[in-house]
Structure 1
Amino acid sequence: MSRLPLDQIDAFVTAARLRNLTRAAEAMHLTVSALSHRMRLLEERLGQRVLARGPRGVELTPAGQRLFDAVAAPLDAIENALQRLSLHTDHMVTLSLIPSMATAWLVPRLPNFLAAHPELGLNLQSSTHVVDFEREPVDMALRLGGGRWPGVHSEFLFHEWITPVASPQLLEKYGRPSLATLPKLPLLGDPANRWKDWFEHYGGEPPVRYVAQFDDTETLHQAAAQGVGVALARWTLAEPLIKAGRLVPLTKKRLKANFAHYLVYPERSVAHPGCQKMRQWLLDQAAVQP
């Protein structure tokens, strides 16, 4: 038997994963008839069916399951290798960061970077998972933490600060509180229960219960902006809402969080010209962070 063409294997794996020929064809930018033609050629080569067509889509036959188990992972490895080769050029930088950090901090500053470096292409990957530089085609990442991650270079950017904020509408209703009267307002619970740290540092007791509890910082800030209650905000992420007048800091006092923002990158990015330009720009931006 001659070697199987990759286009037929790719069509099979895509159809097997999506369980639908129409969606698989769309994912591969093919017509359904072109995808079906590739599948027919594959089955003719193998001399047996690998997909069973039905009214609700397609299912793997026993032979198809064996084939999928054998070829899906190697095909993914080939795709990852091709991505690494295409993305890791001197004029392309792939940067990973959490979506909220991208929206609130990086994207508003990007026009300056792109204007200063028109020769560079920037690929932003917004994700909440920690990048595996060994397996993913990512050059650099912005991380929040203590600054110690094995196997990567880690450079401090700036501290994160927390402070109480509320909407103008809520302040019209309750008035601006002092540090002593702050616990009497409707407070919003945050993901890390940082109110406890705030009251321990500045005095006062946290409420018996919060009017609402949130496990996502961005949603917490949006709830405060809608007047649901007072949030203990992360300044970096809340700053756009503060500048827009949707949130008002209740005090000039801030509490340093027990984590900070860092730029991390693998050894291979040290000699990458584009990465070094991005690195210097990020350090410059961090140096003027309030």
Structure 2
Amino acid sequence: MGSNLTLALQSRGFEVTITGHESEQVMPEFKGKCLYPGILGIDWDEIGKVDVLFHQAAINGTRVKDEREIMRANLEASKALFDYAINNGCKRIVYASSAAVYGNNPAPHKESDPTDPQTPYAMSKKLLDDYAMALAAKHPDITIVGLRYCNIFGPGENHKGTRATMIYQFAQQMLKGNPRLFKHGEQKRDYIYVKDVVTANILASQANESCVVNCGSGTTTSFNQIVEQLNAILGLHRTPEYMDNPFEGAYQSHTECDMSFAKAKIGFSPEYSFEQGLADYYQSGSLV
């Protein structure tokens, strides 16, 4: 996600400074400043004043169990970054939250729903939302917007391994043989195309008030449907092979976000359907 946003901002003529490390997406087109080794080891003196902070960094592995490390990276480092930016004159902050905070609550999810974080990652995002909104209340002259990301797919995820979307993982499996799905492939996800997420970030940076909003497509696609769509677009005839879900009980089987609040607060409505996003992804050359 970060690489897509970075290049979009650069294409609009903004001066962009990013943090990162060698295992992240390579961006030969990027002409700005990149600070290594990433958010946890950031050289604060090299940042300087920023007009808008887009905070995308996190340990986002939902199966990572080291709660202490996740809280250090996702919560404490975020607090330090927000405080630094505000103390140096930044008035607008946009950060990545997650629909994982809803856990196994019934879908569709609304921002007013109770949270049910099932993993250390989800809890770190819930606590970051709480901190960000408390910080915004303390600084009424600053606008802070959290985007509760659903499953983002599109170019720029090929370096993520098991953290890549099932769309990318299934595509790689299907090039070699049949894909393996959790029984019986009816798990549903709210997939949002990465270009829509870039739009949401830019709109959030122009928001009139602080808020936390969903960032999804507002629709669902099952794992079985992903395989069907990939068969069609790749010209294949693969058949799913089903296996037991080792994460049963702590696994989000249905994510779907209500997008009405995001439209009201930041003016965001997704443009790409799942099929349109998948076609654009394939045409980019990044899917296979």
Structure richer in helix, relative to its length = 1
Fold conserved (TM > 0.5)? no
TM-score by length of 2: 0.23
TM-score by length of 1: 0.23
Structure richer in strand, relative to its length = 1
**Larger-gyration structure (1/2):** 1
